[in-house]
Amino acid sequence: MRLHRNLVYAVIDSLRDVFNEEVYADKAVEKALKRDKRWGARDRKFVAETIYDIVRWKRLYAEIANVKAPYSRPDLWRLFVVWCVLRGIKLPDWNQIEETPTRRIKGKFDELSQIRKFRESIPDWIDELGVQELGEEVWTKEIAALNKKADVILRTNTLNISKESLQKQLRSENIDTEFVKGCDDALRLVERANVFKTEAFHNGLFEVQDASSQLVASYLDVEPGMKVVDTCAGAGGKTLHLASLMKNKGQIIAMDIYESKLKKLKIRARRNKVHNIDTKVIDSTKVIKKLHGKADRVLIDAPCSGLGVIRRNPDSKWKLQPEFLDNIKEVQQKVLQQYSKMVKPGGKLVYATCSVLPSENQQQVEFFLASDEGKDFTFVKDHKVLAHQFGFDGFYMALLERK
């Protein structure tokens, strides 16, 4: 591979933004890809994948390069050089690239690869927490799986097309896919491609959604004609899946504290030809109280640490703090206590997170069921999705029924 200055400069600038300016990696990549309209697909792929790669392995590379945050520009170049050496990429004779001790870099890599927190490039506290909650053996396998590059998974919009027909249409647009075992509506891209430019996407035939995330809506056991509330809808990936499962019949109330996210959901719903969704901004407790005892089904896709999805958000490892985790657990229990009141007698509730930690998952459900609000509910079943077992994101979902 031959390195090009303008592409590498874009990578270095983006790393500075992510590491020193707290910019989210996806936003940094988005900005970088707008730098030069002349870049082709290979150029764009190099920029995006290199940024994500160095962000993912930051701790390991920083230890090898012997640099510490905040990173100066020469430090960022040293991180880039480590990335190149470990991938066997020939380094050009540029002023920014110092004399490179290739053997020392490889030797240090071999040495550090024996220590999990360096090998998997994670903060000490996350490593200790993972062992504490999942045990040494399971955590070692799980964090390794969570550091693998995420596949691109599509969810067929079965309102408009079958999975088999979508596969054929995408093939006609030079995108090859394969079925995903255990996930009825999913297709996995054989090779990464910009699916958002396809005719199939513009016609609302699919959404991009990880296979694990696709399991949640199905877990709610919805039927056409029901009244369903998605309490933490966000931009609506699971809301749209619920609409498909309900065949556009009945009512889905998509709620969120952020109006901007619900506006994105409306745009997606139009493209998907979904018309049974009403959106409501949670701007007071009145919105919740009006729905007490009214819903056949309630989905609580609760805010969480996001540890199950770090393969697609590698910078979250560096942004996450212990205090946030403590606070988010309080929020999770609060939403369970409040939003569960919307379930009518005989109705069902799913509590879900994209975390692999029992303290955010089954322990929250146990605490809720032991509380005054939870005494009217019975535990039906739960599903712990671990990345090293399923091959996709880490997730949790529990199904409860109101007596």
pLDDT, tens digit, 9 for 90 and up, residues 102-116: 999 999 999 999 999
Helix H, strand E, coil C: the string for the chain is CCCCHHHHHHHHHHHHHHHHCCCCHHHHHHHHCCCCCCCCHHHHHHHHHHHHHHHHCHHHHHHHHCCCCCCCHHHHHHHHHHHHHHCCCCCCCCCCCCCCCHHHHHHHHHHHCCCHHHHCCCCHHHHHHHHHHHCHHHHHHHHHHHCCCCCCEEEECCCCCCHHHHHHHHHHCCCCEEECCCCCCEEEECCCCCHHHCHHHHCCCEEECCHHHHHHHHHCCCCCCCEEEECCCCCCHHHHHHHHHCCCCCEEEEEECCHHHHHHHHHHHHHHCCCCEEEEECCCHHHHHCCCCCEEEEEEECCCCCHHHCCCCCCHHHHCCHHHHHHHHHHHHHHHHHHHHHEEEEEEEEEEECCCCCCCCHHHHHHHHCCCHHHHEEEEEEEEECHHHHCCCCEEEEEEEEC
Provide the whole-model pTM. 0.94
Give the count of alpha carbons within 13 A of 192, CB side only: 11
Place of tokens 């988005």: 30
256 is in an annotated binding site: yes
pLDDT at residue 251, rounded to an integer: 98
pLDDT, position 107: 97
Segments of the chain with pLDDT less than 70: none
User: For position 100, what pLDDT does the model report?
Assistant: 85
Show which residues are catalytic. 354
pLDDT for the residue numbered 1: 81
* Residues 65, 356: Cα–Cα separation, whole Å: 31
Is 124 annotated for ligand binding?
no
Domains belonging to the chain, first-starting first, are: 5-114 (no CATH), 153-208 (3.30.70.1170), 216-402 (3.40.50.150)
